[in-house]
Amino acid sequence: MTDPEVLRSYGYSENSYHGSAPHAVVVKPESTEDVVKIIGVARKYRFPVTPYSGATSLEGHFAGYSTGSICLDMSGMDKILKINVEDADLVCQSGARWEDINETLKEQGIPLFFPLDPGPGAVRSIALWQIFLTDPSAHPQTIGGMVGTGCSGTNAVRYGTARSEWFLNLTVVLPNGKVIKTKRRARKSSTGFDTTKLFIGAEGTLGIVTEATLRLAPVIPSKVAMAQFPDVNHAVSAVQEVLTSPYGSHIQCVELLDDHMMAAINAGGMVSEPLPLKDSLFFKIQGAQDTVERAAETIKNIVARHGSSQFRFAATDEDAEDLWQNRKYALMSTLSASPGARCWTTDVWYVVHASACSITHLVICSVPVSKLPQLVYETKQDMAECGLKSTIVGHVGDGNFHAFMLFRNDEEFEVVKGAVHRLVHRALALDGTCTGEHGVGLGKKEYLIEELGQGTIELMLAVKKAVDPDNIMNPGKLYPDLPGARNP
Ligand SMILES: Cc1cc2nc3c(=O)[nH]c(=O)nc-3n(C[C@H](O)[C@H](O)[C@H](O)COP(=O)(O)OP(=O)(O)OC[C@H]3O[C@@H](n4cnc5c(N)ncnc54)[C@H](O)[C@@H]3O)c2cc1C
């Protein structure tokens, strides 16, 4: 495809704020062999190639390259190739969508699921969110994109991230045109270092994933509980005690929504009954009914010790589903309260542009869990001192939270920018990271040397250079510009 409108739309994202050069051409392969042919042409003419799948990444990951680039749209390669129920694994093409995979398993009565869940219902624009509301099958996040960004989500407390062993094997087309499989289908293997991991979080800069073998987990019934606290600090400190309690291993998710976010959800009009306007934790608890009930009782006692004034346990499946929906669609239900709103992201922020010209930055930082109360507390204080309106939502069970900051004009935007930089540096000072789950793309390159150190960056660059000496794979993304070094 070379239509200028198509090229523009493939290089652009409402979620990104990092500039958006159009691609020179969009190509939609149907097989690994097609990808090999495309890479052959790119290699011959040293033409940049940007893999593109669900296009929901937030840091300018799939923007076009300034001198022109081939956008490789992998979303058509979306087939499930084989389900091995007895081995609890599944082979699919990389364009397969994780929510579709789980839906297929459910429809076929297979009690297994793929547990990585990067933002259920994540869409790349408000227009698509409106479609998603009526057609949940419109969710676009794909296995290839999830490998690319090293994603995770609310389930990370129990199941870890993309860097855990959920990807058993990847089929990859390398920049030299060779097709490799990183492993076989065995659950474990000691054959040297882990080449599967080389591609997790590589953001399409080392090769193109065309197929994947996914490890599946048994579906375990779960229930939901919600607790309210006097402040975020009390809420976050309760999480640690819950996770280290004897029932900690039954906690699938722990999510924090601050009082402002609860208000935004109420205003979004998507809740059946108004939520209490207090800093709140949402727990998903796994296990048989009696275990879950005992776990809920333990959580109730722990949160009470941390000042919780209200505790609600949703004991039926319907009630649990209802309660969890509030967390699941927190961001988008907030947006739906602002007709005409649109979204984009900056380097460390997710940005919401509301009709009244108020804008929200989403900052995503992650620290060791024990440091989270300090990070959240200081960040809330900082935002209040700057006079910023903000909401907080986070996967606090694994030390990760998102802050949304509102602004209305250029002046306030500068205030937000300052607050965001302070937040990132605060997270780094607490031994944390500038990106808990969304990846680096164009936006977070500037923080990487400070976070990882020059030696680690040099190692990353050495790998990149060895695998892709002509720098044709998604150039400009991920690797920071190292002083004194010639970057690929
Ligand atoms: C509302 C919203 C909520 C979100 N919540 C979360 C969250 O909770 N957790 C989280 O982790 N993320 C979240 N995200 C970010 C995003 O959805 C994830 O990063 C997701 O994994 C991206 O998948 P995708 O298919 O859209 O990838 P894309 O955006 O298409 O691509 C992502 C990266 O992978 C590369 N890539 C794509 N396909 C391939 C391939 N086949 N081979 C090699 N490289 C490839 C691309 O070049 C790019 O660098 C959210 C996004 C939105 C819009």
Say which range, 17-31, 50-64, 195-209, has the weakest mean pLDDT.
Answer: 17-31
The domain that holds 286 is classified in CATH as 3.30.70.2190
The domain that holds 13 is classified in CATH as 3.30.43.10
Same domain, 110 and 202: yes
Going from the Cα of 439 to the center of ligand 1, the distance in angstroms, rounded, reads 9
Same domain, 81 and 202: yes
Going from the Cα of 97 to the center of ligand 1, the distance in angstroms, rounded, reads 11
The pLDDT value recorded for residue 159 is 95
Going from the Cα of 212 to the center of ligand 1, the distance in angstroms, rounded, reads 16
Residue 23 has pLDDT above 80, yes or no: yes
pLDDT one-digit tens code per residue, 121-171: 555 444 454 444 455 455 689 999 999 999 998 899 999 999 999 999 999
Average pLDDT, the chain: 85
Same domain, 65 and 12: yes
pLDDT one-digit tens code per residue, 351-397: 333 323 334 445 566 788 888 888 888 888 898 898 877 778 888 88
Residue 416 has pLDDT above 70, yes or no: yes
Tell me which residue range forms the domain holding 99: 77-218
Please work out whether the CB of residue 60 comes within 6 Å of at least one atom of ligand 1: no
Please work out whether the CB of residue 57 comes within 6 Å of at least one atom of ligand 1: yes
Same domain, 90 and 188: yes
Rg (the chain; Cα; Å): 22
- What's the whole-number mean pLDDT along residues 204-213? 98
Q: How far apart are CA 232 and CA 348, in angstroms?
A: 22
Q: How far apart are CA 401 and CA 375, in angstroms?
A: 9
The pLDDT value recorded for residue 165 is 94
Residue 173 has pLDDT above 70, yes or no: yes
Going from the Cα of 59 to the center of ligand 1, the distance in angstroms, rounded, reads 9
Please work out whether the CB of residue 298 comes within 6 Å of at least one atom of ligand 1: no
Which atom of ligand 1 approaches the CA of 141 most closely? Answer: 25
pLDDT one-digit tens code per residue, 249-282: 999 999 999 888 888 888 877 777 888 999 999 9
The pLDDT value recorded for residue 203 is 98
Which atom of ligand 1 approaches the CA of 52 most closely? Answer: 30
Same domain, 202 and 96: yes
Q: How many helices (H) and strands (E) does the chain have?
A: 16, 19
Please work out whether the CB of residue 204 comes within 6 Å of at least one atom of ligand 1: yes
The pLDDT value recorded for residue 488 is 56
157 lies in a domain?
Answer: yes
Same domain, 69 and 82: no
The pLDDT value recorded for residue 233 is 85
The pLDDT value recorded for residue 91 is 98
The pLDDT value recorded for residue 247 is 92
The domain that holds 196 is classified in CATH as 3.30.465.10
Percent of the chain with pLDDT over 70: 85
The pLDDT value recorded for residue 409 is 77
The pLDDT value recorded for residue 99 is 93
Q: How far apart are CA 122 and CA 54, in angstroms?
A: 10
The helix (H) or strand (E) run that includes residue 390 is: strand 389-395
Strand (E) positions, 244-289? 251-257, 279-286
Please work out whether the CB of residue 59 comes within 6 Å of at least one atom of ligand 1: no
pLDDT one-digit tens code per residue, 456-474: 999 999 999 999 999 999 9
The pLDDT value recorded for residue 351 is 33
Give yes or no for a contact between 280 and 235, defined as CB atoms under 8 angstroms apart: yes
Please work out whether the CB of residue 13 comes within 6 Å of at least one atom of ligand 1: no
From 151, 173, 180, 366, give the residue whose CB has the most ligand 1 atoms within 8 Å, as the site to mutate: 151
Say which range, 122-136, 169-183, 293-307, has the weakest mean pLDDT.
Answer: 122-136
For 331, 345, 441, the CA distances from 444, given in Å and listed in that order, are 22, 12, 7
The pLDDT value recorded for residue 365 is 66
From 12, 57, 59, give the residue whose CB has the most ligand 1 atoms within 8 Å, as the site to mutate: 57
Q: Any idea how long the chain is?
A: 488
Side-chain-side CA neighbours of residue 355 (13 Å): 8
Q: Which residues pair with 394 in a beta bridge?
A: 256, 401
Q: Which of 371, 386, 382, 345 is nearest to 427 (CA)?
A: 371
Going from the Cα of 121 to the center of ligand 1, the distance in angstroms, rounded, reads 12
The pLDDT value recorded for residue 122 is 56
Going from the Cα of 57 to the center of ligand 1, the distance in angstroms, rounded, reads 4
The pLDDT value recorded for residue 226 is 95
Same domain, 260 and 284: yes
Residue 112 has pLDDT above 50, yes or no: yes
- Work out how many domains the chain is built from and give that number: 4
Residue 21 has pLDDT above 90, yes or no: no
Please work out whether the CB of residue 146 comes within 6 Å of at least one atom of ligand 1: yes
Residue 342 has pLDDT above 70, yes or no: no
Structure tokens at 254: 């722990």
Give yes or no for a contact between 6 and 26, defined as CB atoms under 8 angstroms apart: yes
